[in-house]
Structure 1
Amino acid sequence: MVGVLLSVWATVYFSVWGAMLGVALAYLGKSWYLDRMVWLYEDMKEKNELYRSWEY
């Protein structure tokens, strides 16, 4: 959320470097979140039949 707020602020005040930093922070945060969700799925698929059925 900090990255998004920084990007919005930088866009309003025409700061290219601030916008780039904000977008990079937003992408890094989302990538970290997705990594944690995959990790959680990998742990849970052995314990839950529903999760196991999602695999191809």
Structure 2
Amino acid sequence: MDKSKMEILLRNRIEKLKNEMIMTASISGMDSSETLHCSQELDKLIILYMKHFAYKKSA
């Protein structure tokens, strides 16, 4: 799989998990274990994305 396809898949997964976290928080609360689990998983995906696909702007 090429890098651009992988980036798209990761961005889609991040968006899906973000929406899942918002829905979970609205149902079970911001500090529920389900919401916190979604948040932690989302953090991992965002860090992965930033590590591999975020481009640094030169000053």
Give the 4+ runs in structure 1 shifted more than 2 A.
Answer: none
Q: What fraction of aligned residue pairs are identical, expressed as a percent?
A: 0
Gaps of 5+ in 2: 37-59
Equivalent pairs counted in the alignment come to 32
RMSD across aligned C-alpha pairs, in angstroms?
A: 1.2
Query: Structure 1 CA distance, aligned partners of 2:16 and 2:7?
Result: 14
Please tell me the residue identity of whatever aligns with 2:27.
K
Higher relative contact order, chain-length normalized (CA < 8 Å, sep 6+): 2
Shift of 1:29: 0.3
Larger Rg: 1
Gaps of 5+ in 1: 4-21
**TM-score, length of structure 1 as denominator length:** 0.51
Q: Which residue is equivalent to 1:48?
A: 28
Q: Which residue is equivalent to 1:24?
A: 4
